[in-house]
């Protein structure tokens, strides 16, 4: 599970925004016309809370409290805080659905400053110590493999030491809260006699 808070800055690469009305002066008929597309890139800064889990005896168990690499004993190469700064990068496309609504799709790459989002970072810890000090679930989840256990001896490399990153694809639906329909306001003023052509 990841919960993220971001502050982003967007740069619009391409925009095709045509919103308004085309008037037929003779009959005063209005034909609505509008197009609204934007292609944009973004980046920014954020913070993420992460809580990796795995199944043990049919139940999802949080891995951070189990200290699967011996973090609680000070033997791990990194610390598990559950929080990390992030830098999002992305590309998006949104299209107008009338004057107020926009539908879009967005691809994001999130760089983090931790290698523990998946609870794998450094080296294997002694499962006997994990079992006696924390519990059998810590020993099992530090290495669920039942074959070739000589490959996963304490002190051997468990994962890479590069910081984690993740991707996601979003569908977005947004409403413009600041849009003013001037044509509608003009109609109201004409009805009240406060506006004349």
Question: Is 197 within the bounds of a domain?
Answer: no
Residue span of the structural domain in which 167 resides:
2-192
Is residue 137 assigned to a domain?
Answer: yes
CB 114 within 8 A of CB 81: yes
Length of the chain: 197
Tokens at residue 5, please? 């808070």
Task: Give the tokens for residue 171.
Answer: 């569908």
**pLDDT of amino acid 101:** 84
State phi, psi for 194 to the nearest 5 degrees: -95, -5
Residue (of 40, 42, 45) closest to 104 by Cα position:
40
Of 91, 90, 92, 103, give the one whose Cα is nearest residue 175.
103
The whole-angstrom separation of Cα 122 and Cα 77 is: 6
Answer yes or no: is pLDDT of 169 > 90.
yes
In a domain, residue 66? The reply is yes
- For the chain, strand residue ranges (E) read 2-24, 29-50, 53-56, 59-62, 83-97, 101-112, 165-175
| pLDDT at residue 90, rounded to an integer | 96
Q: For residue 92, is it within any domain?
A: yes
- Which helix or strand (DSSP H or E) is residue 5 part of? strand 2-24
Q: What percentage of residues in the chain have a pLDDT greater than 70?
A: 75
Beta strand pairing status for 59-62 and 53-56? antiparallel
Collapsing DSSP to helix, strand or coil, 152 comes out as helix
Domain count, the chain: 1
Q: Is residue 131 part of a domain?
A: yes
Number of CB atoms found within 10 A of residue 22's CB: 9
Per-residue confidence band for 104, with pLDDT thresholds at 50, 70 and 90: very high
Would 90 be classed as within a structural domain? yes
Rounded to two decimals, the pTM is 0.68
The helix/strand/coil state of 65 is: helix
Average pLDDT along the chain: 80
- Most confident of the ranges 9-13, 28-32, 140-144, 192-196: 9-13
């Amino acid at each position: 599970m990841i919960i993220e808070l971001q502050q982003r800055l967007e740069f619009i690469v391409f925009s095709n925004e045509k919103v308004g009305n085309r008037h037929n002066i003779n009959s005063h008929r209005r034909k609505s016309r509008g197009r609204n597309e934007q292609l944009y890139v973004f980046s920014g800064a954020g913070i993420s809370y992460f809580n990796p889990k795995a199944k043990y005896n049919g139940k999802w168990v949080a891995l951070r409290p189990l200290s699967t690499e011996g973090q609680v004993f000070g033997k791990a190469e990194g610390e598990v805080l559950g929080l990390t700064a992030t830098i999002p990068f992305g590309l998006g496309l949104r299209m107008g659905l009338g004057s107020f609504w926009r539908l879009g799709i967005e691809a994001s790459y999130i760089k983090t400053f931790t290698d523990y989002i998946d609870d794998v970072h450094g080296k294997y810890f002694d499962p006997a110590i994990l079992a006696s000090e924390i519990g059998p679930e810590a020993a099992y989840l530090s290495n669920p493999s039942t074959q070739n256990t000589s490959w996963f001896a304490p002190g051997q490399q468990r994962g890479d030491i590069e910081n984690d990153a993740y991707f996601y694809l979003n569908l977005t639906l947004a409403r413009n809260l600041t849009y003013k329909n001037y044509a509608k306001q003009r109609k109201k003023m004409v009805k009240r006699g406060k506006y004349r052509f």
